[in-house]
Structure 1
Amino acid sequence: MTPLKIAIADEHKIFRKGLIAILEDFKEFDLVLEAGNGFEIVNQIPFKKPDVILMDIKLPDMSGLQMIGYLRENFDGVKILILSAHYEDQGIINVMKAGANGYLLKDSEPEEMIQAIHDVCEKGFYFNKYLSVTLIKELLVQPPATIGSREAMLNDREIDILKLICEESTNIEIAEKLFLSVRTVEGYRTRLFEKIGSKKIAGLVIYAVKNGIISV
C-alpha cells in the first residue's frame, strides 16, 4: 500500500513537531511537507504533491478561508483537514462550505486524528462527534466534497427508524413512536450502522440525504 502523503501547516512549531511525532508511528503516512505559513505550503504543493493537508484555520500570512479557496481552485484533489482550538458552529460551517473536507479540534485524541485522515481520503469528509444532526444537514445543503456511501438495502422498518434518528429522536422516543421495545430499537440502530457502513450518526444522515430518505 502506497503511504498517504501528508503536509502540515501550523505556525506553532511545537504543535507541528507533536503532529510529526504522532504520524511517524504510522507507516501508512509519509510526511512530505511542514510549514508555519500558507505561502510556503502553496508554493511547495506542486513539487511535494500531498494527499492531505493538516491545516490550522489561522495562519500568519493568509486566512484559512483564503487558503481553502486557493487550494480548491488550483489543487482540488488535495484533501483539507482543518485543525483548530475552537469549536464554533458557524466557523465549522464556513470552512466546510468553503471546501474543507474535515474539521478536528486540536485537543482530540491522536486516534481520532488518524481516523479523520483516513476518512477524508476514503470518504471525502470527516464530521467530528460534536456536530449535531442539524448542523450536518446544513452542511449537506452545499456539500463540500463528493460524499460516497455504501450501497445498502433497507427494509421499511429500518427506513422508519433511520428517519427518526435523523430527527434526533432517542431510542426511547423511537420505541414509543413505533411501539417497539428499546432493545429492539437498539438492534435496528446497530444494523443500520453495519449496513450503511458508518460508525457515526453523521454517516447515517449523509446516507439518508443522498438516497432521498430525508430532505435538507
Structure 2
Amino acid sequence: MTAGPVRVVLADDQPLVRSGLRLVMADHPDLEVVGEASTGAEAVQLVSETRPDVVVMDIRMPGMDGIEATRQITTGPTATRVLVLTTFDEDDYVYGTLRAGASGFAVKDMALHDILAAIRVVAAGDALIAPGVTRRLIADFVGHPLRRSPRPVAGITEREREVLTLIGHGRTNTEIAEDLFITVATAKSHVSRLLTKLDARDRVQLVITAYETGLVTLPA
C-alpha cells in the first residue's frame, strides 16, 4: 500500500451504490475514489488507466461479470487487489469470485464503517471475509458436491493442520491463539508457514484450501 490515500475504483451497475460509497469516502481523507465502472469490462479498463490500490467489485453486472473482471484484474500486470461487495443472499457466485483472485468479500448490508474498514484491510495486503459469511460460504460450497475434490494436505504439521481448520472456520489469529492456547505471535507464524507451504496468496486462499481438502465441514 502506498503512503498516500488508498486509491479506489468502484465497480457496480447501480449508480446509487457507487454514489453512496463515493460520498462516504469523501469524508475520509485516507480513501480516494479514482474511478467508477458500471460493467466488468469498464472496471478492467479503469484499472489499466488509473492503477488503483483496491477495486470494490460487484458480481452481477451486464456483459463481463465481476468474476471474470476479478480474474483479469488480479492476474494482469497491475495485480490490483479486489474486494467483492455484493448481496450474498442473492448471489451464488461467491466461491467463484474468491477462486478468481478476490482478496475479500463483504456484503452490502454491512455498516458503512465496516465496508470502509474492509477496503483498508484489503489495501494493506490482508484478506478479509465479512463476519457471518464464512459459514454460509461453506454451506454453499459443500452443497455442490461436484465442486469438491477432497485431497490430503501434504507437507504440513498436525499443528498447522489445526490452524488451517480454524482459518477455514473464519477464526482470526487472536481467536486461533485462544483456541490452541498459544500466543498470537505463534499463531501468526503458523499462518505464515501455511501460506508458504501451500503456495497461497493470502488468507482467503487458505480458507478455500480448507474447503477443498475436507478439513471444514458443516456441523451435523
TM-score by length of 1: 0.64
**1:87 and 1:196, CA in 2 relative to 1: closer, same or farther beyond 3 A?**
farther
Alignment: residue pair count: 176
Q: Larger Rg: 1 or 2? A: 1
User: Post-superposition shift, 1:34?
Assistant: 0.9
User: Post-superposition shift, 1:65?
Assistant: 1.7
TM-score by length of 2: 0.63
Q: Give yes or no for contact 1:133–1:166 (8 Å, CA) kept in 2.
A: no
User: Post-superposition shift, 1:62?
Assistant: 1.0
Residue matched to 2:121: 119
Deviations 1:41-98 (A, max 9, x none): 2223232111100011011121222212221332452011111112479632211011
**1:208 and 1:51, CA in 2 relative to 1: closer, same or farther beyond 3 A?**
same
Query: Aligned runs of 1:21-100 on 2, under 5 Å?
Result: 21-87=23-89, 91-100=93-102
Q: Give yes or no for contact 2:37–2:46 (8 Å, CA) kept in 1.
A: no
What SS does the corresponding residue of 1:131 show, helix, strand or coil?
A: helix
Q: Percent identity?
A: 21
CA RMSD of superposed structures (Å): 4.0
Is it true that 1:195 corresponds to 2:191 in the alignment? no
Letter in 2 for 1:24: A
Distance 1:39 1:9 in 2: 10
Choose from 6, 14, 38 the match for 1:12: 14
Query: Aligned runs of 1:130-141 on 2, under 5 Å?
Result: 130-132=133-135, 135=138
**1:133 and 1:91, CA in 2 relative to 1: closer, same or farther beyond 3 A?**
closer
Q: Following superposition, which runs of at least 4 residues in structure 1 exceed 4 angstroms of deviation?
A: 161-168, 189-194, 206-212
Letter in 1 for 2:134: L
Q: Give yes or no for contact 2:59–2:93 (8 Å, CA) kept in 1.
A: no
**1:188 and 1:208, CA in 2 relative to 1: closer, same or farther beyond 3 A?**
farther
Is there any run of 5+ residues in structure 2 with no aligned partner, and where? 142-147, 149-158, 170-174, 199-209, 214-220
User: Post-superposition shift, 1:134?
Assistant: 8.7
Q: Using the TM superposition, name which of 189-198 and 115-124 deviates more.
A: 189-198
Q: Give yes or no for contact 2:95–2:137 (8 Å, CA) kept in 1.
A: no
Letter in 1 for 2:8: I
What SS does the corresponding residue of 1:132 show, helix, strand or coil?
A: helix
Deviations 1:160-212 (A, max 9, x none): x96895697xxxxxxxxxxxxxxxx9x945975843688xxxxx9x5684489
User: Post-superposition shift, 1:19?
Assistant: 0.6
Q: Using the TM superposition, name which of 39-48 and 101-110 deviates more.
A: 39-48
**1:3 and 1:33, CA in 2 relative to 1: closer, same or farther beyond 3 A?**
same
Distance 1:133 1:87 in 2: 9
**1:197 and 1:53, CA in 2 relative to 1: closer, same or farther beyond 3 A?**
farther
Deviations 1:84-128 (A, max 9, x none): 112479632211011111111111111221221122122341112
